[in-house]
Amino acid sequence: MQLGFVSAILADLPLEGVLDVAADAGFQCVELMCWPRGKAERRYAGVTHVDVVGLDQGGARRVMELAAARGIAISGLGYYPNPLAPDRAEAEVYVEHIRQVIAAARMMGLGVVNTFVGRDWTKSIDDNWPRFRETWPPLIAFAEAHGVRVGIENCPMLFTGDEWPGGKNLAISPAVWRRMFAEIPSPSWGLNYDPSHMIWQQMDHLAPIRDFADRLVHVHAKDVRLDRDRLDQVGILGHPNDYHTPKLPGLGDVDWAGFFSLLSDVGYDGPVCVEVEDRAYEGSLAARKRSLAQSARYLRQYM
Amino acid sequence: MQLGFVSAILADLPLEGVLDVAADAGFQCVELMCWPRGKAERRYAGVTHVDVVGLDQGGARRVMELAAARGIAISGLGYYPNPLAPDRAEAEVYVEHIRQVIAAARMMGLGVVNTFVGRDWTKSIDDNWPRFRETWPPLIAFAEAHGVRVGIENCPMLFTGDEWPGGKNLAISPAVWRRMFAEIPSPSWGLNYDPSHMIWQQMDHLAPIRDFADRLVHVHAKDVRLDRDRLDQVGILGHPNDYHTPKLPGLGDVDWAGFFSLLSDVGYDGPVCVEVEDRAYEGSLAARKRSLAQSARYLRQYM
Amino acid sequence: MQLGFVSAILADLPLEGVLDVAADAGFQCVELMCWPRGKAERRYAGVTHVDVVGLDQGGARRVMELAAARGIAISGLGYYPNPLAPDRAEAEVYVEHIRQVIAAARMMGLGVVNTFVGRDWTKSIDDNWPRFRETWPPLIAFAEAHGVRVGIENCPMLFTGDEWPGGKNLAISPAVWRRMFAEIPSPSWGLNYDPSHMIWQQMDHLAPIRDFADRLVHVHAKDVRLDRDRLDQVGILGHPNDYHTPKLPGLGDVDWAGFFSLLSDVGYDGPVCVEVEDRAYEGSLAARKRSLAQSARYLRQYM
Amino acid sequence: MQLGFVSAILADLPLEGVLDVAADAGFQCVELMCWPRGKAERRYAGVTHVDVVGLDQGGARRVMELAAARGIAISGLGYYPNPLAPDRAEAEVYVEHIRQVIAAARMMGLGVVNTFVGRDWTKSIDDNWPRFRETWPPLIAFAEAHGVRVGIENCPMLFTGDEWPGGKNLAISPAVWRRMFAEIPSPSWGLNYDPSHMIWQQMDHLAPIRDFADRLVHVHAKDVRLDRDRLDQVGILGHPNDYHTPKLPGLGDVDWAGFFSLLSDVGYDGPVCVEVEDRAYEGSLAARKRSLAQSARYLRQYM
Amino acid sequence: MQLGFVSAILADLPLEGVLDVAADAGFQCVELMCWPRGKAERRYAGVTHVDVVGLDQGGARRVMELAAARGIAISGLGYYPNPLAPDRAEAEVYVEHIRQVIAAARMMGLGVVNTFVGRDWTKSIDDNWPRFRETWPPLIAFAEAHGVRVGIENCPMLFTGDEWPGGKNLAISPAVWRRMFAEIPSPSWGLNYDPSHMIWQQMDHLAPIRDFADRLVHVHAKDVRLDRDRLDQVGILGHPNDYHTPKLPGLGDVDWAGFFSLLSDVGYDGPVCVEVEDRAYEGSLAARKRSLAQSARYLRQYM
Amino acid sequence: MQLGFVSAILADLPLEGVLDVAADAGFQCVELMCWPRGKAERRYAGVTHVDVVGLDQGGARRVMELAAARGIAISGLGYYPNPLAPDRAEAEVYVEHIRQVIAAARMMGLGVVNTFVGRDWTKSIDDNWPRFRETWPPLIAFAEAHGVRVGIENCPMLFTGDEWPGGKNLAISPAVWRRMFAEIPSPSWGLNYDPSHMIWQQMDHLAPIRDFADRLVHVHAKDVRLDRDRLDQVGILGHPNDYHTPKLPGLGDVDWAGFFSLLSDVGYDGPVCVEVEDRAYEGSLAARKRSLAQSARYLRQYM
Q: What is the pLDDT of residues F27-76, one digit of tens each?
A: 999 999 999 998 666 777 789 999 999 999 999 999 999 999 999 999 99
ipTM of the complex in this document:
0.95
Strand partners, C273: C4, C220
pLDDT value at residue B91: 97
Report the relative pairing of strands B149-153 and B112-115 from DSSP bridges: parallel
Residues from chain A contacting residue E264 (CB–CB below 8 Å): 247, 251, 278, 280-281
Residue B80 has pLDDT above 80, yes or no: yes
Q: By percentage, how much of chain F surpasses pLDDT 90?
A: 97
- Which of D210, D221, D218 has its CA nearest to residue D264? D210
Model confidence pLDDT, tens digit, residues A236-253: 999 999 999 999 999 999
What one-letter code names the amino acid at A140? I
| Rounded Cα–Cα distance for residues B221 and B301 (Å) | 14
Contacts of F164 in chain C (CB under 8 A): 124, 165
- Do A250 and E300 make contact, defined as CB atoms within 8 angstroms? no
Q: What is the interface size between E and F, counted as CB pairs within 8 Å? A: 29
Residues of F in contact with C228 (CB under 8 A): 204
Q: In the complex, which subunits touch B with 3 or more CB pairs below 8 angstroms?
A: A, C, D
Task: Tell which residue, B209, B264, B257, B299, has the closest CA to residue D287.
Answer: B264
F280 and A265 in contact by Cβ < 8 A?
yes
Q: Which of residues 219-258 of A touch E (CB under 8 A)?
A: 225, 245, 247, 250-252
F301 lies within 8 A of chain E by CB: yes
Measured CA to CA, the distance from residue F234 to residue C172 in angstroms comes to: 8
User: Which chain E positions have a beta carbon within 8 Å of D240's beta carbon?
Assistant: none
With beta carbons less than 8 A apart as the criterion, state whether D147 and D186 touch: no
pLDDT at residue number F46: 87
Task: Please report the pLDDT score of residue F41 as a whole number.
Answer: 67
- The stretches of chain C forming alpha helices (DSSP H) are 15-24, 57-69, 88-108, 125-146, 174-183, 196-200, 207-211, 228-234, 256-265, 285-300
CB C113, CB C98: distance < 8 Å: yes
**C-alpha to C-alpha distances, D62 to B170, C206, D57, D66, D74, nearest whole angstrom:** 66, 56, 8, 6, 13
Nearest CA in chain A to F249: A302
Compute the distance between CA of residue F78 and CA of residue F32 in angstroms, rounded to an integer: 6
Residue F217 CA to residue B19 CA, distance in Å, equals: 76
Per-residue pLDDT at E41: 66
**Chain B: closest CA distance from residue A17 (Å):** 39
Tell me the average pLDDT across F164-184.
Answer: 98
Among chain E residues, the shortest Cα distance to F257 is held by E251
Contact E232 D207 (CB under 8 A): yes
Residue A25: half-sphere exposure toward Cβ, Cα within 13 Å: 27
- From chain E, the residues in CB contact with A297 under 8 A are 300-301
Q: Is the separation of the CB atoms in E2 and E73 below 8 Å?
A: yes
Question: E18: exposed, middle or buried (C-beta count within 10 Å: 0-12, 13-18, 19+)?
Answer: buried
pLDDT in the model for residue C40: 66
Distance from CA of F26 to the nearest CA of A (A): 15
Question: Residue B40 pLDDT more than 80?
Answer: no
Is any Cβ of chain D less than 8 angstroms from the Cβ of C280? yes
F64: helix, coil or strand?
helix
Quote the CA–CA distance of F229 and A211 in Å, as a whole number. 12
Phi, psi torsion values for E203, nearest 5 degrees: -105, 155
d(CA C62, CA A274): 77
Nearest chain D residue to E173 by CA: give it.
Answer: D234
Distances (CA, A) of F279 to A261, A262, F3, F43: 11, 12, 22, 11
At least 3 CB pairs under 8 A between chains D and A? no
Asked if A49 and A99 touch (Cβ cutoff 8 Å), the reply is no
Q: For the purposes of burial, counting CB atoms within 10 Å of the CB of A37, is it exposed (0-12), middle (13-18) or buried (19 or more)?
A: exposed
In chain D the beta strands, taken as DSSP E runs, fall at 2-6, 29-33, 73-78, 112-115, 149-153, 189-193, 216-221, 223-226, 244-247, 271-274
3-state SS class at E271: strand
Antiparallel, parallel or unpaired: β A244-247 and A223-226: antiparallel
Q: Which of E224, E248, E251 to mutate to test the interface with F (most CBs of F within 10 A)?
A: E251
Is it the case that residue A111 has pLDDT exceeding 70?
yes
In whole angstroms, what is the distance from residue C182 CA to residue F93 CA? 47
Distance between CA atoms of residues D93 and A52, nearest Å: 96
Question: What is the C-alpha to C-alpha distance for residues F35 and F97, in angstroms, rounded to an integer?
Answer: 8
pTM over 0.90: yes
Pairing of strands B223-226, B244-247: antiparallel
Instruction: Give the residue from chain D lying closest to E154, CA to CA.
Output: D235
Residue B41 has pLDDT above 70, yes or no: no
Count of residues making up chain E: 303
- CA dihedral (D255, D260, D263, D267) in degrees, to 10, reads -170
Tally of CB atoms within 10 A around A268 = 18
The list of chain D residues with pLDDT below 50 reads none
E281 contacts on F by Cβ (under 8 Å): 264
Predicted pLDDT at E286: 96
Task: Give me the phi and psi of C16, to 5 degrees please.
Answer: -60, -40
Rounded to a whole number of angstroms, the distance from the CA of B254 to the nearest CA of chain D is 14
Residue C247 has its nearest CB partner, among D261, D267, D303, at D261
Contacting chains of E (3 CB pairs or more, <8 Å) are A, D, F
Going by beta carbons, is chain E in contact with chain A, meaning 3 or more pairs sit under 8 Å apart?
yes
CA torsion sign, A202 to A205 to A211 to A213? positive
Instruction: State the pLDDT confidence band at A45, using cuts at 50, 70 and 90.
Output: confident
**Residue F212 reports pLDDT greater than 80:** yes
| pLDDT for residue A40 is more than 70 | no
Interface touch C250/D302, C-beta < 8 Å: yes
Q: Give the percent of chain C with pLDDT over 90.
A: 96
Report the candidate in D149, D38, D50 with the shortest Cα–Cα distance to residue D102: D149
Q: Which of B250, B280, B297 sits opposite C265 (nearest CB)?
A: B280
- E265/A245 touch (CB, cutoff 8 Å), yes or no: yes
Other chains touching C, judged by 3 or more CB pairs under 8 Å: B, D, F
Q: What percent of chain E has pLDDT over 90?
A: 96
Beta strands in E132-185 (DSSP E): 149-153
**CB of A121 within 8 Å of any CB in chain E?**
no
Interface of C with B in 170-189 (CB under 8 A): none
Round to whole Å and give the CA distance between D95 and D150: 13
Of C175, C202, C233, the CB nearest to F236: C202
Would you tell me how many other CB atoms lie within 10 Å of the CB of residue A14?
12
Residues of chain B neighbouring C261 (CB-CB closer than 8 A): 225, 247, 251-252
Residues near A61 by beta carbon (within 8 Å), at least 6 away in sequence: none
How far is residue D83's CA from residue A170's CA, in Å, rounded to a whole number?
73
Q: For chain F, what's the residue count?
A: 303
* pLDDT value of residue B38: 81
Over residues A32-43, the mean pLDDT reads 84
The DSSP 8-state label assigned to residue D279 in this structure reads G
Establish how many alpha carbons lie within 13 A of residue A115's alpha carbon, considering only the half-sphere containing its beta carbon: 31
Give the phi and the psi of residue B126 in degrees, each rounded to 5.
Answer: -60, -45
Tell whether omega for the bond before D165 is within 30 degrees of 0, i.e. cis: yes
Is the CB of F213 inside 8 Å of chain C's CB atoms?
no
- Choose among E247, E250, E280: nearest Cβ to F301: E250
Q: Tens place of pLDDT for every residue, chain E, 303 residues? A: 999 999 999 999 999 999 999 999 999 999 999 999 986 667 777 899 999 999 999 999 999 999 999 999 999 999 999 999 999 999 999 999 999 999 999 999 999 999 999 999 999 999 999 999 999 999 999 999 999 999 999 999 999 999 999 999 999 999 999 999 999 999 999 999 999 999 999 999 999 999 999 999 999 999 999 999 999 999 999 999 999 999 999 999 999 999 999 999 999 999 999 999 999 999 999 999 999 999 999 999 999
